[in-house]
Structure 1
Amino acid sequence: MTPGILIAAPRSGSGKTTVTLGLLRALKRNGVRVQAYKCGPDYIDTGYHQMASGRPAFNLDSWAMDGTMIQSLAGRAQDAEIALAEGVMGLFDGAVAPGSAGNGSSADIAAMLGWPVLLVIDVTGQSQSAAALVHGFRTMRPDVQVAGVILNRVGSDRHDRMIRRAMEDIGMPVLGSIARCGDLCLPERHLGLVQAGELAEAERIIDALADRIASHIDIQALCALANGKPLRQAHHHCPPPGQRIALAQDAAFSFTYAHLVDGWRDAGAEILPFSPLADEAPVSDADAVWLPGGYPELHAPRLAAASHFIAGLRRHAQDRPVHGECGGYMVLGQALIDADGQAHAMAGLLGLVTSFADRRLHLGYRRARLFAPMAGYGAGAVLNGHEFHYSTVIEQPDDPLADVTDAAGTTVASTGSRRGHVTGSFFHLVAGAA
């Protein structure tokens, strides 16, 4: 069993990501083999985790994944010395109704794997009250151990002393304090952080975060808190859409879950990356083509002009499966209208027309029961995923792919589409059973 720590917070915006990245890089610098995880369905943070740690990072999600899958992914840390997971939102925040193994909260993962929680608290505007907050978090769930805190955005030495004294009164270890500072942050766009591969200064920023963490947090004491429950022997099954999978991979198609692609490889599939932005067609003998999500709206003119890519997609779709998720789904459609109202012709394999001129947020867990086969899954299969985009559907004339509900079981309009061998959905697949 590899011991672990879960970095959580009372709410979003407390500094979990910057603390996690700094810790990952600082541990790596010290020669510690550290396995990174992200609680919840976020696919951007894991890119930064991988950059900071030098190892693939995986998602852990108690709503979308069952216990077997979570145990299997936790087992990826077996050759590491410590596992470090970044939480999602506030420690106990999750879906309104439980899913496969819980409600998707970080607390579920901590309880399931026995990882102690280290709370990152933004102490702006409070002093002794921070101890009351921590006391509440410590007693909320008996199966979750809040083992220590990191004080973030501390205003002064006096401010720090007041809070530390209050933490001593409730017996809560303080592993470090970080002063207020706005010069170290990661840029954002409408779906969250700018992706790690797009940010030229990402390495410099992560190194600077590691410098700050190393000088303000007792990393040795943090590692001493790490713990965990013995893992069951488990292996998660991600049915591949084929034995040779052409996977679009570039700045327009980059939202892929590491556990999904690794699961395909574990099943014996070969992954064949190609770049639509470089006008590369999927290899002609691939069994299936998979277009993940990303930011096609930022590259719509280039994609519309990528004649080799589009011709290759069309040839493949004549007799073999093609599937697109979110951004990939939009590219399979008839047209994509950008934020300026300019329409760009896409592959035309589905009739979908989407627009970013009228932005509307679509966000949340999704459960889909397939009406027809989708690459790797048969009709009737139940898939768990997550939807997060700002596009508006203008036209969706094809047959629906699935009956789709949100976490509360309410039917949603984004059913996906199917036409011949081509399928597409707005939800990103996290887990499912064939």
Structure 2
Amino acid sequence: MIRVPRLVLAAPSSNAGKTSIATGLIAALSARGLTVSPHKVGPDYIDPGYHGLAAGRPGRNLDPWLVGEERVAPLFLRGALHPSPADIAVVEGVMGLFDGAAHPSVDPGFASTAHVARLLDAPVVLVVDAASQAHSVAALVHGFATFDPAIRVGGVVLNRVGSDRHEAILRGALAAAGVTVLGAVRRHDRLHTPSRHLGLIPAAERSAEATTTVRRLGEVVGEGLDLDAVLALARSAPPLAAAPWDPADEVAPGTARPRIAVAGGAAFTFGYVENTELLAAAGAEVVVVDPLREEALPAGTAGLVVGGGFPEVHAAELSANGTLRADVAALAARGGPVAAECAGLLYLARELDGVPMCGVLDVATAMAGRLTLGYREAEAAGPSVLAPAGTRVRGHEFHRTAAVPVAGPAPAWRWGGTAEGFTAGNVHASYLHLNWAGSPALAQRFTAACAATLHTERPEQQHAHR
């Protein structure tokens, strides 16, 4: 049994201000000298970036669809105890409290914030956008507090409150309903986080501006919330009967130690912490390469992982770095394993919006008119450096670009009767995002494929890598 003070921030619907309140709360608690473990329900990559900036440690996702119900509590404990034990864990929810995966294979509430709160046995704090309501807030909160007896709504945060009088009316209504108000936050338009076609702009792209916003959010939330009451609620959570997730229990290191480069920087900000942890546990030396700044892959690179992000925003700069594009193409040509997701697929393509990319794949990609979004149940269409044919995985799509063709002669995955993605030699590229914690064998297989290339290179290649 492991005791970790924890709470889940939820809301009646999207756009209630959960991310601002969660990020501000993490920053405010950190400013008190507490070690905070940040978490996010669902597959989103951007919110954990702001959480991590506020906490000074990686934000981790908790998604039963991607990793399985049985791994949610262990992965939570991994984040709460690694790299050091946290004093409190803050979990930001997704959409409305009871909104789950919109997929026909599961119940409507599966992978919802309520689902994760039950798996973590954590109290819930309801963030309510009070901008357009007064006494009605009591009926709203009462409904959410009583809808599911297994969910304990321990308090409410009133967001976007207009005035002292407005706050007094709201507090009076909720007092009569017997619901604890943990704090109220006024409207702060200057704290608005800019967005683009896929949502908020990642913290990594905003650098100093993002740091300033996070600090100011911490000040606002620290002033508006009763942090002592928040801590008391978090400490009321019972011990968890689970063991922390350990990547070393999921994979085994080989005899070789291949160097695997992972794309990072402002263009490639989407990635799950567990993926690189699994690569390292499988024996890889993981190094980060920024395709916007570095002109070559790290010396001795045996394989490359290119995750998601916004290469369409940085297309001109990525294209201008021709030496790195050529190095990536050379790695793929000599059989170096390459795994690419979404933005990675765009980078490996022949072109992106008419601008030359790496040319590893004979594919044209461009911005599309609609957003492709949703959970997917996929099956490996054939053998690849990631998985044997027939391997079943759960992932998600999230993009507003399109590839022509959408799949090659050897597609990566099949779902819903369609083929998607590309496999060619030791290259695997697809729009499907995966958290490898849900399928650890992917990391094992990819690392082994990278290690195998160390034994097949010509002597002059091995010398060049030293």
User: What TM-score does the superposition give when structure 2 sets the normalisation length?
Assistant: 0.85
Conserved? CA contact 2:29–2:36, under 8 Å = yes
> What are the equivalent positions in structure 2 for 1:31-110 lying under 5 Å apart?
31-76=33-78, 77-78=80-81, 79-97=85-103, 103-110=110-117
1:277 corresponds to? 292
Rounded to whole Å, the distance in 2 between the matches of 1:253 and 1:143 is 39
Q: How big is the alpha-carbon RMSD for the aligned residues of Structure 1 and Structure 2?
A: 2.2
Q: Secondary structure at the match of 1:278?
A: coil
Distance 2:266 2:384 in 1: 25
Matched letter for residue 421 of structure 1: N
Residue 286 of structure 1: aligned partner: 301
Q: Distance in 2 between matches of 1:298 and 1:154?
A: 35
Q: Indicate the residue corresponding to 2:331 in structure 1.
A: 316
Contact 1:64 / 1:385 at 8 angstroms: preserved in 2? yes
Quick check: 1:64–1:100 contact (8 Å CA) kept in 2? no
Pairwise CA distance, 1:100: 11
User: Any conservation in 2 of the 1:331–1:347 contact (CA below 8 Å)?
Assistant: yes
Bigger drift between 210-219 and 275-284 goes to 275-284
| 2:432 aligned to which of 421, 427, 431 | 427
Structure 1 residues 281 and 310: alpha-carbon distance in aligned structure 2, compared to 1, 3 A threshold: same
Cα displacement (A) at 1:236: 5.8
Task: Write the deviation string for residues 343-392 of structure 1: whole angstroms up to 9, x where unpaired.
Answer: 11222221221111x42211111222112234343322222222111112
Q: Which moved more, 1:26-35 or 1:139-148?
A: 139-148
Contact kept, 8 Å, 1:62 with 1:101, in 2: the verdict is: no
Deviation at 1:243, TM superposition (A): 4.2
Q: C-alpha displacement at 1:276, in angstroms? A: 1.6
Mean CA deviation greater in 323-332 or 308-317: 308-317
Amino acid at match of 1:334: R
Q: How far off its partner does 1:234 sit?
A: 4.8
1:231 aligns with 2:241: yes
> How many matched pairs?
423
Structure 1 contact 414–425 (Cα < 8 Å) conserved: no
Counterparts of 1:236-247 in structure 2, within 5 Å, are: 243-247=258-262
Matches within 5 A, 1:141-220: 141-199=148-206, 200-220=208-228
* Whole-Å separation in 1 of the counterparts to 2:95 and 2:110: 13
Q: Unaligned 5+ residue runs, structure 1? A: 338-342
Partner of 2:26, secondary structure, is helix
> Secondary structure at 1:277's aligned position in 2?
coil
Per the TM alignment, residue 336 of structure 1 is displaced from its structure 2 partner at its CA by 1.2
SS in 2 for 1:390: strand
What is aligned with 2:450? none
Partner SS, residue 312 of structure 2: helix
Q: Quote the Cα distance in structure 2 between the aligned partners of 1:67 and 1:101.
A: 15
Aligned partners of 1:41 and 1:61 also within 8 Å: yes
C-alpha distance in 2 between matches for 1:333 and 1:87: 35
CA distance in 1, matches of 2:165, 2:288: 55
Task: Flag structure 2 segments of 5+ consecutive residues without an equivalent.
Answer: 442-466
Indicate the residue corresponding to 2:13 in structure 1: 11
Question: Are the aligned partners of 1:326 and 1:428 in contact in 2 as well (CA < 8 Å)?
Answer: yes
Structure number having the greater helix percentage: 2
Are residues 277 and 100 of structure 1, via their aligned partners in 2, closer, same or farther at CA, if it must alter by over 3 Å?
farther
For 2:381 and 2:307, the matched residues in 1 are separated by 21
